[in-house]
Amino acid sequence: MMSLAIAKTCGPGRPKDLEKRAAILQAAKRLFVTQGFDGTSMDAIATAAGVSKLTVYSHYQDKERLFIAAVECVCQEQMPSEIFRADLKGPLRKQLMTIARAFFALVTSEAAVAVHRTIVANAQQSPKLGQLFWEAGPKRTQEAFESFLRDEVAGGKLDVADPHRAATQFFCLLKGELHARREFGCGEAFTQRETDEHINATVDLFLRAYLPR
């Protein structure tokens, strides 16, 4: 049911079409992670989704658009738009913690790390792929957080002169050493305690920098 719900946010259609669209997206997300972009064919996606290749192309004109849709849907699943809606009556730190936990879980997930490694490995041969990934994933998330910050500034809860810069700082701080270790595959797996301490420290540092004086 979750896959169908996500499919509805990614495009219109009749219930049967939405089911096929959801199946295509699930297959694409799985294969892009395990086989990489170049190693994944539209034929393989169609087979994994249990639909014809013609059906895949009827929903997505080419593999690049399907890749974008897959990235967007993964972001929407793990960082839904709702978490970026500023609640000016609620505690700001709690809202930032919700965003921070969702972001950190997303970027350190096996799927995200695998896709990012693929993008970096193919950066010279396929620079367009990197641009598509940036716009579908990181840029979308950053812009949503920028909007959140502007709302909090308007509500008097934050003092941020440059929301774009502040958004990039927040997400870069959140990645930190733990994300680097995860991506490089070095060192021991970090514990839940390390994760909690890292996220709490990052949010507190951000608030010290941008709370109204």
Residues 6 and 53 in one domain: yes
Q: Which of 59, 74, 89 is the last residue of a domain?
A: 74
- Write the pLDDT tens digit of every residue in 159-208: 999 999 999 999 999 999 999 999 888 878 889 999 999 999 999 999 99
Residues 13 and 111 in one domain: no
Residues 63 and 150 in one domain: no
Residues 164 and 205 in one domain: yes
The CATH number assigned to the domain holding 16 equals 1.10.10.60
Structure confidence at residue 14 (pLDDT) = 63
Structure confidence at residue 124 (pLDDT) = 82
Residues 22 and 54 in one domain: yes
Residues 99 and 27 in one domain: no
Residues 47 and 95 in one domain: no
Q: Report pTM.
A: 0.84
Q: Which of 45, 74, 103 is the last residue of a domain?
A: 74
Q: Which of 74, 100, 129 is the last residue of a domain?
A: 74
Tokens representing residue 119 in the block: 């993008």
Residues 55 and 102 in one domain: no
**How many domains does one find in the chain?**
2
Residues 70 and 85 in one domain: no
Q: Using CB atoms within 10 Å of the CB of residue 18, give its burial: 0 to 12 exposed, 13 to 18 middle, 19+ buried.
A: buried
Structure confidence at residue 186 (pLDDT) = 86
pLDDT < 70 stretches in the chain: 1-16
Structure confidence at residue 16 (pLDDT) = 64
Residues 118 and 194 in one domain: yes
Structure confidence at residue 6 (pLDDT) = 44
The CATH number assigned to the domain holding 192 equals 1.10.357.10
Residues 22 and 85 in one domain: no
Phi, psi of 52 (to 5 degrees): -80, 160
Residues 160 and 198 in one domain: yes
Structural domain that includes position 62 = 2-74
